[in-house]
A and B are shown apart, each in its own frame.
Chain A
Amino acid sequence: MIKKFFLPAMTLLTALLFVGRLISLQLLNSSYKLLSDGNAVIEKEIYPERGYIYDRKNKLLVSNQPVYDLMTIPENIAPFDTLNLANLVNISKSELKDKLVAAKRFSIKLPSVVVSQISKERNAIIQEKIWKYEGFYLQKKSLREYPNPIAANVLGYISEVNKNDMSKDGYYSLGELTGRQGVERYYEDLLRGVKGKKFLQKDRFNRIIGPYEDGVYDVKSKGGKNLILTLDSELQEYGELLLQNKRGGIVAIEPKTGEVLSLVSAPSYDPNLLVGRMRSKHYRELAIDSISKPLFDRGLQAQYAPGSPFKTLNALIALQEGVIDSNTTYRCDHGHYYARGVFMDCHCSYGTKNNLLSGIYKSCNTYFANVYRKIIDEAGDSIEEGMNKWNKHLKSFGLGDYLGYDLPVGKKGFIPDASYYDYWYEKGGWKSATVVSNAIGQGEILTTPIQMANFTATIANRGYFIKPHFLKTVSDGTYQVLHEKKKTAIDSLHFETVIEGMHQVVERGTARIARIPGIDVCGKTGTVENFIKIEGVKTQLTDHSMFIAFAPKNDPKIAIAVFVENGYWGGRWAAPIASLLIEKYLTGEVKRKWLETRMLNGSLLAEYEKPFSGQPFIINE
């Protein structure tokens, strides 16, 4: 019997064995599924095009440019003339040979980069001849391009992510780009779009052979949004031009909207330097320049004593607190003794009697010393309370704290309060006379140019401001921010006198050079004493030149703060520059060519050399 059943039995046993094996391989063991996917499916990310950046008039500031990498797949290379190819792509023959050896070592079947980031122009030449070189091809990549190389400090730059970025934000993977500074960084989420995913099928040599499952698992990428900035590129470009060979900052704001029309920091750099093959070399050069600090945004990060423009705020506070009115008069004798043996200079001639208006347009130190002391002494029941009220008013102008604008860098500035002086002088150890330097914007106060522009806009608005910002909208309108009005603690009726005072500054005061025919400009000059330490010795340097302004007086379209480091006095550099910018912005052209020429040709480089020359030098000469 056994012989009849041998083959059938073997057949059934074999079938059982195979089915058992199939069950164990296919149903019980899921690791094979993963192994097969790891084998055969590659997930590739699709990068959307990064959003473009435009100015407020839709003028292109940042776009993307194609660059090309020369790639090779070693196994496809046919014999070719090495020297010709090396000349074509502009590298040496030995370099090309080294690259090919390295490529072969990496893989003979997978592509390697031979020459990276070949420009559009060179690519055009290579494209025509590349067919001669089998196994080589050009692969397109995208880099930032700045058709108009301005506003580097606002736009920022992008670079490859590092480990730190990747651990903070799981979105990124190696080799991706991210915004590093400026708008590129602040609006990274809008600009970068959303990556897509593509699942590709590999063969056993790791070569891509097509989409996996016809792409049903693929995720489409969403393109980055195009940003429309508040910047006026003409104004920005003109501002950068005017500050050439000087150091300083310009901030121009549209008062009604809080839109920043221009933010100039000088010296700056060409944003195209931080693109492409030479990026890291250029970046190092910019970063190690600790003297002119081109990467330091003087409009946002530089904290200066505000100087005389600050007097306008003290006037407003005094009016609001009722310690003076517009007729309050003080006598100035070329200055005054504010305490025994301590004299504060003023340029008013002996025996001048100033009321509020003339106090402002003559920038009388004596007048404001008295006004300030009145605030401290009389606004509250004690000098501490007076000091704190003063502090509170200034805070309502956005001083002494971050403004909250949409760029990633900034400084708080500083507005002292009672506890600050209590700490330094012990309680009761200070009086209004002790802190009288604050009256004229010196002393302990620190502000940044954008804060100064912002309080100028607040004055222009007669008592409110809108947080300065740089993003107007995105081109498809899908991103909106509501900007609320921030009211100051000063009633709007108090502003008219101060504004009239600022108008007189330009009409017949310290900034007559800023007059523009046909436009009522309101401004205030500042001449700011400043000190640095040279080899441990506190040394006074040439005064900073400072000017704030807005125009037109009755319907302000632009508020501006200009700061020129070591620019002697307010009327010498800052006021003309501000005035030219206002003229340019409001009328579209500059008629005062003589002033423009003087500003463009003027250089303070010799001034900046002084402290580093090692020689004794004279300031404010």
Chain B
Amino acid sequence: MNNSILYRLDWWLVLLYLLLVTVGITNVYSATYNDTLNSIFDFSQPVGKQFLFFLVSVFLGIIVLSLNVKFFEHFANVSYFISILLLAGLFLFGKTVSGATSWYNLGGFSLQPSEIAKLFTGLMIAGLLSKFQSDLKSIRTLFKVACCLFIPAILIVLQPDPGSALVFLAFFFPLFREGLNYSYFLIFLSLLALFLITLSFQIFIAIGIICFLIFVVFFILKRLNSKIKVWPFLLVLVLSVGYALSVDYIFNNVFEQRHRDRINIVIGKEVDTRGVGYNINQSKIAIGSGGFMGKGFLEGTQTKGGFVPEQHTDYIFSTIGEEWGFLGGFFVILLFCFLILRIVISAERQNSKFRRVFSYSVAGLIFLHFFVNVGMTLGIVPTIGIPLPFISYGGSSLLAFSIMIFIHLNFDANRLNDW
């Protein structure tokens, strides 16, 4: 290394990171504000814990920055193994909070391994894809990647915390970037569409719609090209109906009522504003009542009144919308945009495939969290309980995302190194 890493560090990214954390601590302070709370150094209060985790993150981040970039490639397998162990260990030593066994209790602090698993799975995927012989067109590689993603995802679903498991979809972005076939994306979209159709209508009507759609597509293609064969369509039809039936079965017999409710609200089947739709409705009221300028710091009536459940964690964006108004919401959206784009641009200029894939994973994870979380608070995405990176209260999440950013900063500073 010619110069100290400090000269090559992406200080703009550091600034974005610090801004987001500041927004987070400010709004966690407001969302948890009460008479006894007057200092962010009170470590028994959420905001104090959050601040402490930020300090720990920066400390670990400095260590991460000082490590040799090669270290992470060697460390990838080990870290992944550790995270799988941590996830599996939950079933033995985990702490159960509101039905999900997702935490280790560490004397006053809780550790959520699923957050750490995202980081380490990112390293693992980067390691897999950067192997000399790996090729995303080969079934062998695809199978490895799929296993690498599904093992932690399934462990997390079993907690049960399906929301956190869903986050592993974020790895689709680096995979796609590295040459995953478009058809996978189309298949994924079709499956999602079928899923929604099945849930939106009764099963027989849904099957009817599926048949109708496939026939329409078939006849249109037949017009354009008379040589087209019938049997692939029949196969698709049978698979689709089978898929619809199994979705219906899983939805009604495997899912718990709260999962069903969450999905039903978003597809518009439930409009019970006092019951399960309460969160989203109150969140929309909070944001909507903020207006252009917002009600001001600590002045949010929805926030103070505790009308929005889980406001300092998953619904933190509603505090921002209420107290800082459109300006605040817009500012936060802008920060996330800049952050994601800056990481992607840096990744594209990366010489090493390992580092590119990892940075891309970081961008993808941040994007997915941002999309799902803010979308949920705004009432356009189903209620999925995942945090807003850097902002939501939650030490594990802040720690995991901070370290992702610091690893990326390390990679970015060394992007011209060839090895």
Distance of A21 Cα from B282 Cα, bound (Å):
16
B-facing residues in A1-56 (Cβ within 8 Å): 3-4, 6-8, 10-12, 14-15, 17-19, 21-23, 25-27, 29, 31-33, 35-37, 39-41
Q: Separation in Å of the B294 CB from the closest CB of chain A?
A: 9
> DSSP class of A's interface residues: helix, strand, loop or mixed?
helix
The reply to whether B301 and A40 form a contact with Cβ atoms under 8 Å apart is yes
Instruction: Tell me whether B367 is interfacial, beta carbon within 8 Å.
Output: yes
Instruction: Tell me whether A538 is interfacial, beta carbon within 8 Å.
Output: no
Closest chain B residue, CB of each to CB of A204? B307
The reply to whether B326 and A23 form a contact with Cβ atoms under 8 Å apart is yes
Q: Known contacts A36-B286, A212-B301: does B291 contact A27 (CB below 8 Å)?
A: yes
Instruction: Tell me whether A202 is interfacial, beta carbon within 8 Å.
Output: yes
Distance of A204 Cα from B306 Cα, bound (Å):
6
Most buried by B among A26, A39, A41, A204: A26
Candidates B282, B291, B292, B305; contact of A201 at CB < 8 Å: B305
Most buried by B among A11, A12, A203, A204: A11
Q: Specify which chain B residues have a CB less than 8 angstroms from the CB of A39 in the assembled complex.
A: 282, 285, 301-302, 305, 307
Distance of A6 Cα from B363 Cα, bound (Å):
12
A-facing residues in B329-375 (Cβ within 8 Å): 329-330, 333-334, 336-337, 340-341, 344, 348, 360, 363-364, 367, 370-371, 374-375
The reply to whether A209 and B176 form a contact with Cβ atoms under 8 Å apart is no
Q: Separation in Å of the A607 CB from the closest CB of chain B?
A: 70
The reply to whether A201 and B304 form a contact with Cβ atoms under 8 Å apart is yes
Instruction: Give the interface size class of chain A.
Output: 35 or more
Q: Known contacts A7-B360, A14-B371, A36-B289: does B284 contact A25 (CB below 8 Å)?
A: yes
Instruction: Tell me whether A213 is interfacial, beta carbon within 8 Å.
Output: yes
Q: Specify which chain B residues have a CB less than 8 angstroms from the CB of A3 in the assembled complex.
A: 176-177, 179
B side interface size, CB within 8 A: 45
Distance of A25 Cα from B374 Cα, bound (Å):
13
Instruction: Tell me whether B78 is interfacial, beta carbon within 8 Å.
Output: no
Distance of A276 Cα from B351 Cα, bound (Å):
89
Q: Specify which chain A residues have a CB less than 8 angstroms from the CB of B307 in the assembled complex.
A: 39-40, 203-204
Q: Separation in Å of the A405 CB from the closest CB of chain B?
A: 52
B-facing residues in A39-92 (Cβ within 8 Å): 39-41
Most buried by B among A10, A25, A29, A41: A25
Most buried by B among A6, A32, A41: A32
Q: Separation in Å of the A211 CB from the closest CB of chain B?
A: 11
Instruction: Tell me whether B395 is interfacial, beta carbon within 8 Å.
Output: no
Closest chain B residue, CB of each to CB of A36? B289
Q: Specify which chain B residues have a CB less than 8 angstroms from the CB of A209 in the assembled complex.
A: 304-305
Q: Separation in Å of the B31 CB from the closest CB of chain A?
A: 13
Candidates A8, A19, A21, A35; contact of B289 at CB < 8 Å: A35
The reply to whether B289 and A32 form a contact with Cβ atoms under 8 Å apart is yes
Q: Separation in Å of the B295 CB from the closest CB of chain A?
A: 8
Contact with A along B307-333 (1 / 0, CB 8 A): 100000000000001100110011001
Q: Separation in Å of the A206 CB from the closest CB of chain B?
A: 9
Instruction: Tell me whether B14 is interfacial, beta carbon within 8 Å.
Output: no
Closest chain A residue, CB of each to CB of B374? A18
Q: Specify which chain A residues have a CB less than 8 angstroms from the CB of B334 in the assembled complex.
A: 15
Q: Specify which chain A residues have a CB less than 8 angstroms from the CB of B129 in the assembled complex.
A: none
Candidates A4, A25, A27; contact of B177 at CB < 8 Å: A4
The reply to whether B291 and A22 form a contact with Cβ atoms under 8 Å apart is no
Q: Known contacts A7-B367, A15-B334: does B329 contact A26 (CB below 8 Å)?
A: yes
The reply to whether A7 and B305 form a contact with Cβ atoms under 8 Å apart is no
Distance of A203 Cα from B360 Cα, bound (Å):
43
The reply to whether A6 and B176 form a contact with Cβ atoms under 8 Å apart is yes
Closest chain A residue, CB of each to CB of B363? A7
The reply to whether A22 and B341 form a contact with Cβ atoms under 8 Å apart is no
Instruction: Tell me whether B206 is interfacial, beta carbon within 8 Å.
Output: no
The reply to whether A33 and B291 form a contact with Cβ atoms under 8 Å apart is yes
The reply to whether A7 and B173 form a contact with Cβ atoms under 8 Å apart is yes
Instruction: Tell me whether B87 is interfacial, beta carbon within 8 Å.
Output: no
Distance of A19 Cα from B378 Cα, bound (Å):
10
Closest chain B residue, CB of each to CB of A207? B305
Closest chain B residue, CB of each to CB of A203? B305
Instruction: Tell me whether B299 is interfacial, beta carbon within 8 Å.
Output: yes
The reply to whether A22 and B371 form a contact with Cβ atoms under 8 Å apart is no
Q: Specify which chain B residues have a CB less than 8 angstroms from the CB of A26 in the assembled complex.
A: 287-288, 290-292, 321, 325-326, 329
Nearest 7 A/B pairs, CB to CB: A32-B288, A36-B289, A40-B301, A203-B305, A40-B305, A25-B288, A33-B289
Give me the interface of A with B, judged by CB distance under 8 Å. Answer: 3-4, 6-8, 10-12, 14-15, 17-19, 21-23, 25-27, 29, 31-33, 35-37, 39-41, 201-204, 209-210, 212-213
* 30 A/B residue pairs, CB under 8 Å, sorted by A: A4-B177, A6-B173, A6-B176, A7-B173, A7-B177, A7-B344, A8-B344, A14-B367, A15-B334, A15-B336, A15-B337, A22-B321, A25-B288, A26-B287, A26-B288, A26-B292, A26-B321, A26-B325, A27-B291, A32-B287, A32-B288, A33-B288, A36-B302, A39-B285, A39-B302, A40-B307, A201-B301, A203-B307, A204-B305, A209-B305
Extra contacts besides A4-B348, A7-B344, A18-B329 (17): CB < 8 Å: A4-B177, A6-B173, A7-B340, A8-B340, A14-B370, A17-B375, A18-B374, A19-B329, A21-B380, A26-B292, A31-B288, A32-B284, A33-B289, A36-B301, A37-B289, A203-B304, A204-B305
